[in-house]
Amino acid sequence: MTIIKAKFIMLCDENFTILKDKAVAFEDRILKTGEASELIKQFPQADFIDAKDAIIAPAFINPHVHLEFSANKTSLVYGDFLEWLSSVIASRSELSKEANQALIAKTIKEIQRSGVGTIGAVSSFGSDFEPCVKSCARIIYFNEILGTNEQILETNKQNFISRFKKSKEAQNELFIPAISVHSPYSTHPKLANFALQIARDENLIVSTHLMESNHEKDWLTNGSGGFKEWLGKFNKSATPFYDVNSFISLFSGIKTLFTHCVYLDDFSKFEREFHSVTHCAFSNRLLSKKTLNLQNLIDEKIPFNIGTDGLSSNISLNFFDELRANLLIHSEFNPQNLAQILILASTSNAAKALGLDLGEVATGKIADIAVYEGFGEIKESELALMLLLHTKNCRNLYINGKICEL
Ligand code: MCF
Ligand code: FE
């Protein structure tokens, strides 16, 4: 059991409450917040840490990373989604070879150092399995399914099933198997429905990419544009498997994170209790020619969270770098307000999207907690923004109440 006292504790409740000069007591779950002296009296067996000027917050959740692409720096082409995709096809086997277990383990640590407790790892090949299982991070392991070729659907299914089974066998509190249906342009309905039936039967979280590029929009709305030519290389008579709404409907009643959605204008098919948008600002700048309209999501009450995507479309998996990119591009927001919105999106709101009982400093929640270097005296209303502007890494990270070696 641990008690930590700090200058500020960001609860990450709906009102963005900040406690000043208080403490939090926790074991695997949070026991209580309050005056340090009272908590010490109530829990005399606890280790007491006076973290002085520090800031305590729920650990961040980065729900969308492609760890297997962690070796990329300059191999992929940016600026147009289909040029990027062609470069991925050309380089993916080399890149995945270079992203060996040691590199992926190191990458996970780097992510954690930026205050991230839970990582949504989208796994294309399964080569990130060992480092994910071995890490002290909480991992949602999204086994990816994709494929458009009718002739090899069975092979794709078997490949997915063997990766999925392996992940089920390794399931524990910190390693949670899940499913990724790659995208509407890349995943045959027979594969999507097959995987989504498993998600329904086993109550799994699902992730998918949706409406990321102008090409995807043209393809899903008119069966035209860049994808017609691109997919025509493999199948001359290719037509879209879905329109946007029929694709979204596949995920009815399933907790699903729809990544990107930059070209989606109509969210009427979204089920607010199950569906959320994962926003990857840096990735969108490199691949999508457009960024997400966050204000529209807020107005429409569509839940959203913040992901980095992989190093396949980012320069850094440090979560603060991604949050700062968000601060810069969503310039229509007041910065203090936006900082709070982004922190809530990355803690309590992301936890809800993933069905995890954490993301808030509140009695009974799982104790995934980050401790950051503080600034001394500072107004509570400035704290969120200053944290995002000035922080690169956390001082300490607790997962399930245990400190992580970073
Ligand atoms: O999110 C970005 C861009 N959109 C789609 N896919 C990926 C991203 N980063 C990596 N990917 C992977 C994806 O998981 O690239 C492959 C898939 O395995 C593209 S489809 C052959
Ligand atoms: Fe992605």
How many A from CA of 41 to the centre of ligand 2?
A: 48
Give the model confidence (pLDDT) of 233-246 as tens digits. 989 999 999 999 99
**Tens-place pLDDT, residues 351-379:** 999 999 999 999 999 999 999 999 989 99
- 285 pLDDT exceeds 90? yes
pLDDT at 376: 86
The mean predicted confidence, pLDDT, of the chain is 98
Q: What is the pLDDT of residue 129?
A: 98
Hey, what amino acid is at 59? Answer: A
Tokens representing residue 21 in the block: 């000069």
**Ligand 1 pocket, residue 215 CB under 6 Å:** no
| pLDDT tens for each residue of 27-61 | 999 999 999 999 999 999 999 999 999 999 999 99
Q: Which residues are annotated as catalytic? A: 212
Measured distance CA(369)–CA(363) in Å, rounded: 13
Place of tokens 């700048």: 285
Minimum CA distance residue for ligand 1 atom 4: 209
Q: Which of 210, 333, 189, 222 is nearest to 270 (CA)?
A: 210
Q: Give the residue from 60, 101, 70 showing the smallest Cα distance to 310.
A: 70
Write the single-letter amino acid at 372: Y
Ligand 2 centre distance from Cα of residue 345 (Å): 18
Ligand 1 atom nearest the C-alpha of 124 is 18
Q: Which secondary-structure segment (H or E) carries 88?
A: helix 81-98
- The pLDDT of residue 191: 98
Looking at residue 366, the DSSP 8-state letter turns out to be B
Is the CB of residue 279 below 6 angstroms from any atom belonging to ligand 1?
Answer: no
Pair of tokens at residue 317:
């998996």
**Each residue of 210-219: pLDDT tens digit?**
999 999 999 9
| Cα–ligand 2 centroid distance for 310 (angstroms) | 7
Residues 124-142 have pLDDT tens digits of 999 999 999 999 999 999 9
